[in-house]
Amino acid sequence: MADVDQGSVLPSETSPLILDGLNSTDSNGTDAVNATVAKFVATPEGTALAYGSLVFMALLPIFFGALRSVNCGKSKNSSDMPETITGRDAARFPIIASCTLFGLYLFFKIFSQEYINLLLSMYFFVLGILALSHTMSPFMNRIFPANIPIKQYQLLFTQGSGETKEEIVNYEFDTKDMICLVISTVVGVWYILKKHWIANNLFGLAFALNGVELLHLNNVSTGCILLGGLFVYDVFWVFGTNVMVTVAKSFEAPIKLVFPQDLFQKGLGANQFAMLGLGDIVIPGIFIALLLRFDVSLKKNTRTYFYTSFLAYIFGLGMTIWVMHTFKHAQPALLYLVPACIGFPVVVALLKGELTEMFRYEEVSPEDAAAKEEATEAEKKDK
């Protein structure tokens, strides 16, 4: 997930459906409409396609990221190991996100937007290539021709020497990974040169999927703290100030999914976008992924809590769009997603008599698990 949680769902600024949103921009991100041109009016079909596509795209990284999160800790690569979020991390996150968001707001107010976005574009260019390559890797393993020889490579950085030597980076890859990297680089160059919405979405989906897969909540209580804190964060910065919307309109980086409302009129060159911030995907997504791993831990061969929370996400996002369409104002999606994603599974757990078991479920970081395993082996040797 990106540092700034652009949490509101926004359609085009010139659409009559809403007052706040993205500036009217062309595919290169430059101003496309001046005061003498009539405002764009989205057709019902274009609006329905845009919002439906955003919902569908949001569900993809949550579903597949959650599935991949179950097994991601088994990789030997340090870059594929999950990052565990504790209760303390969850409590601090809304404060850190608020400082980052307001800092970006001040930067855009003080410095030239063009140069800031140039630096951010290069930064996300590198991150996007790595994220997209990692996302593509499992699919490449399935379709890669068996008659092509596969060579193994290893990138290893260590610190110290002898018994004090410590691994900093240990990344193993092969020919298939190299092909993924080349394809991802092509997408990255396309994004840098054209800022096309399809390239933006490819990077955005990769960021979201990697976030859901690799960010692990250690328990349900931590998830409630994180979602609750960001619930307040999202509502305050969208309804209480213009900071969130200003940054969202100024920030040219693939940290949001976009879909044009004028696709039927202008085809792939469309420039009137509805958008959904990646924070509205990743934050509920890591909670949904946690519930899937809880389902797996029950060993009942069911996915009750995963499907319940997944349907709750669809309901919450649908509510966001409905309210936005009705009141014609940008909406903090977490305002609707958080109660749904927490409330639905809790009610199911109450009905099934598993609420205590749900809140007692605990995950440990790979480092702690390895330390515990070493301690157990040491005890066995002593005996």
Sort 106 into a burial class: Cβ within 10 Å, 0-12 / 13-18 / 19+.
exposed
* % of the chain at pLDDT higher than 70: 83
Q: In the annotation, is 368 catalytic?
A: no
Higher pLDDT, 17 or 316: 316
The secondary structure of 241-297 as a DSSP string is -SHHHHHHHH--SSSEEEEES-HHHHGGG---EEEEETHHHHHHHHHHHHHHHHHHH
Please give the pLDDT value at position 189.
Answer: 96
Average pLDDT taken over every residue of the chain: 84
Please identify which of the residues 5, 20, 80, 280 carries the catalytic annotation. 280
Least confident of 8-12, 126-130, 368-372: 8-12
- What's the whole-number mean pLDDT along residues 327-346? 92
Instruction: Write out pLDDT tens, residues 238-262.
Output: 888 889 888 877 888 898 999 999 8
Who has greater pLDDT, 39 or 42?
Answer: 42
Nearest to 119 by CA among 102, 99, 104, 98: 104
Beta strands 152-159; 331-332: pairing state: unpaired
- This prediction has a pTM of 0.83
- Is 280 annotated as catalytic? yes
Q: Which strand ranges, in their side-by-side order, compose the sheet holding 331-332?
A: 256-260, 273-277, 8-10, 331-332
- State which H helix or E strand residue 167 sits in: strand 166-174
Confidence band of 121 (pLDDT split at 50, 70, 90): confident
Which of 5, 20, 177, 234 is the catalytic position? 234
pLDDT confidence band for 13 (50 / 70 / 90): very low
Contact (CB, 8 A) for 317 and 335? no
- 32 and 255 in contact (C-beta within 8 Å)? no
- The pLDDT tens digits for 55-106 are 999 999 999 999 999 988 666 555 678 899 999 999 999 999 999 999 999 9
127 pLDDT more than 80: yes
What is the Cα–Cα distance from 280 to 9, expressed in whole angstroms?
Answer: 9
Question: How does pLDDT run across 214-229, given as a tens digit for each residue?
Answer: 999 999 999 999 999 9
Q: 45 pLDDT exceeds 70?
A: yes
